[in-house]
């Protein structure tokens, strides 16, 4: 996507102090470049705008401090939800807008009083973004089999966990579109409705008028649903209601805030779920992270044999059932050569940022080393043996350990397989995977 023209316009509107134009151009650039957040921030001697693209902040432009106050006040006034004269307290606003490229977006904005002035952060929800097909997200091998199996379940709960910005709702949308057919009544309770999908009954909750995820779930059963999606489970009542719906022959999708699929069990217990309820309703728990895809043009190999992260990676295969591992490699199409390159030679892909032919800055990734994204997935399949361990009051730690010794693919394993395939790098994976404690 070429946004050079809008960048030039942004530059111009800053020179002319045309605040309306600044916002128009800024939003367009951000959406076209796939940014998730815009940071408009004052520093001691100047102000700057940064965009978060694929989880990493990048500077878009700097502008004079003298312009900063007008930029922030203009936004506060336009939002209609912030008080322009209040500069000492953080404020929130939600705004809908349309870019110059005709894309509908929602913004969730927040101001923060800093020592230099107020900073404004806007989260972007691009409502025109098409939902990718489930099979393009990177759910492969055993993970793929598990999700395909559970999408056919008549009842139970499928949860997705992951930090904000990991696109977990994209996975849920993609999963729902797989089962979106004439025979199923699918109801969703969302905040916000990110994508409008044909055939779904999507409802925007409004907690300001008492329409919450919980009250939505309570009334769902009177809408004769087969499948219910509730955006987020945050409290005991919502979890209970979701479990009740799952026990009365509905398939329930939701997200929950935890660090991993395994830890979700602990979170459910903290929300007062009982083991028999978990065993009776949990079908599948997904965890996901967003990684950047290594640039295909300038990737090259390096040897990481002494890198502690590489040594950490090798450890994970020690507790992996040999037979299950063999099957996993087969399912993922990892060749004997790819396996031995990694395990025996310690060779992985790294980017150079330089065009291999000319030696100049790589034209594909602009020298950043990455292009596009790939997701790393962890799927905890609540199979009968897992349910039995839950009923035996085993801890999440013990259950996780058991699953990993059998067939489970956690974030680290999925990431390592993708590193073997030269899709991403050790740097990307170990931004979010913790190294094991060495004795």
- Interacting positions 373-432 with Zn ion (CB under 5 A): none
Count of residues in contact with Zn ion, rule CB under 5 A: 6
Q: Counting contacts by CB under 5 A, is residue 203 touching Zn ion?
A: no
Q: Contact between 365 and Zn ion (CB under 5 A)?
A: yes
Query: What are the backbone angles phi and psi of residue 296, rounded to the nearest 5°?
Result: -70, -20
Taking the C-alpha atoms of residue 326 and residue 162, their distance in angstroms, rounded to an integer, is 28
Segment lying near Zn ion (by CB under 5 A), choices 118-126, 335-343, 358-366, 372-380: 358-366
Q: Are 200 and 188 in contact (CB under 8 A)?
A: yes
Of the listed pieces 178-186, 236-244, 355-363, 415-423, which binds Zn ion according to CB under 5 A? 355-363
The widest CA-to-CA distance across the chain, in whole angstroms, is 69
Q: Which stretch binds Zn ion (CB under 5 A): 102-110, 290-298, 303-311, 417-425?
A: 290-298
Rounded to the nearest 10°, the torsion over CA 266, 268, 273, 275 is -50
Number of H helices, E strands in the chain: 16, 15
Interface residue with Zn ion among 137, 230, 295, 350 (CB under 5 A) is: 295
- CB closer to Zn ion, 372 vs 397: 372
CA separation for the pair 259, 246 (Å, rounded) = 23
When the beta carbons of 365 and 426 are compared against Zn ion, the nearer one is 365
Considering only residues 51, 53, 298, 420, which one is a binding residue for Zn ion as defined by CB under 5 A?
A: 298
From the list 83-91, 97-105, 261-269, 289-297, the region that binds Zn ion by CB under 5 A is: 289-297
**Contacts made by residues 390-395, CB under 8 angstroms, sequence distance 24+:** 390/265, 390/275, 390/278, 390/279, 390/282, 391/275, 391/276, 391/279, 393/275, 395/266
Closer to Zn ion by Cβ: residue 247 or 364: 364
Residue 12 host element (H or E): helix 4-15
Q: Which of 256, 362, 404, 416 binds Zn ion (CB under 5 A)?
A: 362
294 binds Zn ion (CB under 5 A): no
Cβ neighbours of 58 (radius 10 Å):
12
Residue 128 interacts with Zn ion (CB under 5 A): yes or no: no
Q: Which is nearer to Zn ion, 362 or 408 (by Cβ)?
A: 362
The count of C-alpha atoms lying within 13 angstroms of the C-alpha of 130, restricted to the half-sphere facing its C-beta, is: 4
Enumerate residues 133-162 that contact Zn ion by CB under 5 A.
Answer: none
Decide: is 364 part of the binding site for Zn ion (CB under 5 A).
yes
Compute the chain's Rg from CA coordinates.
24
Least distance (Å) between residue 341 CB and Zn ion: 21
Q: Which stretch binds Zn ion (CB under 5 A): 9-17, 223-231, 256-264, 359-367?
A: 359-367
Q: Looking at the chain, how many residues does it have?
A: 439
Tokens linked to 306? 């002494």
Q: Which is nearer to Zn ion, 144 or 299 (CB)?
A: 299
The residues binding Zn ion (CB under 5 A) are: 295, 297-298, 362, 364-365
């Amino acid at each position: 996507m070429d946004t050079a023209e809008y960048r030039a316009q942004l530059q111009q509107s800053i020179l002319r102090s045309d605040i309306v134009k600044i916002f128009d151009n800024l939003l367009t650039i951000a959406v076209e470049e796939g940014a998730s957040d815009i940071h408009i921030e004052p520093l001691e001697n100047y102000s700057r705008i940064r965009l978060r693209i694929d989880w990493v902040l990048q500077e878009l432009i700097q502008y004079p401090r003298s312009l900063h106050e007008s930029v922030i006040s203009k936004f506060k006034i336009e939002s209609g939800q912030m008080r322009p004269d209040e500069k000492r307290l953080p404020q929130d606003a939600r705004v809908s807008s349309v870019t110059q490229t005709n894309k509908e977006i929602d913004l969730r904005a927040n101001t923060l009083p800093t020592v230099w002035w107020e900073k404004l952060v806007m989260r972007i929800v691009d409502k025109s973004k098409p939902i990718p097909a489930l099979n393009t997200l990177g759910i492969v091998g055993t993970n793929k089999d598990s999700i395909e199996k559970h999408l056919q379940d008549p009842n139970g709960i499928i949860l997705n966990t992951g930090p904000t910005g990991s696109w977990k709702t994209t996975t849920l949308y993609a999963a729902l579109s797989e089962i979106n057919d004439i025979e199923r009544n699918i109801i969703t309770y969302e905040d916000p409705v990110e994508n409008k999908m044909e055939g779904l009954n999507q409802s925007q909750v409004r907690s300001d008028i008492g329409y919450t995820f919980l009250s939505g779930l309570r009334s769902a059963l009177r809408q004769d649903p087969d499948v219910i999606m509730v955006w987020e489970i945050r409290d005991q009542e919502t979890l209970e209601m979701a479990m009740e719906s799952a026990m009365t022959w509905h398939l329930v999708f939701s997200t929950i805030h935890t660090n991993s699929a395994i830890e979700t069990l602990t979170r459910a217990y903290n929300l007062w779920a009982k083991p028999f309820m978990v065993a009776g309703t949990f079908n599948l728990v997904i965890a996901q992270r967003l990684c950047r895809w290594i640039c295909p043009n300038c990737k090259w190999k390096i040897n990481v044999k002494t890198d502690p992260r590489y040594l950490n990676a090798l450890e994970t295969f020690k507790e992996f059932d040999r037979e299950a591992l063999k099957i996993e490699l087969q399912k993922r199409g990892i060749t004997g050569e790819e396996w031995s390159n990694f395990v025996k030679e310690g060779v992985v892909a790294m980017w150079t940022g330089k065009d291999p032919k000319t030696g100049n800055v790589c034209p594909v990734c602009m020298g950043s080393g990455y292009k596009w994204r790939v997701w790393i997935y962890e799927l905890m399949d609540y199979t009968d043996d897992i349910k039995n361990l839950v009923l035996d009051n085993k801890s999440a730690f013990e259950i996780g350990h058991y699953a990993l010794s059998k067939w489970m693919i956690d974030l680290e394993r999925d990431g390592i397989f993708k590193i073997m395939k030269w899709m991403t790098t050790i740097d990307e994976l170990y931004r979010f995977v913790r190294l094991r404690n060495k004795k």
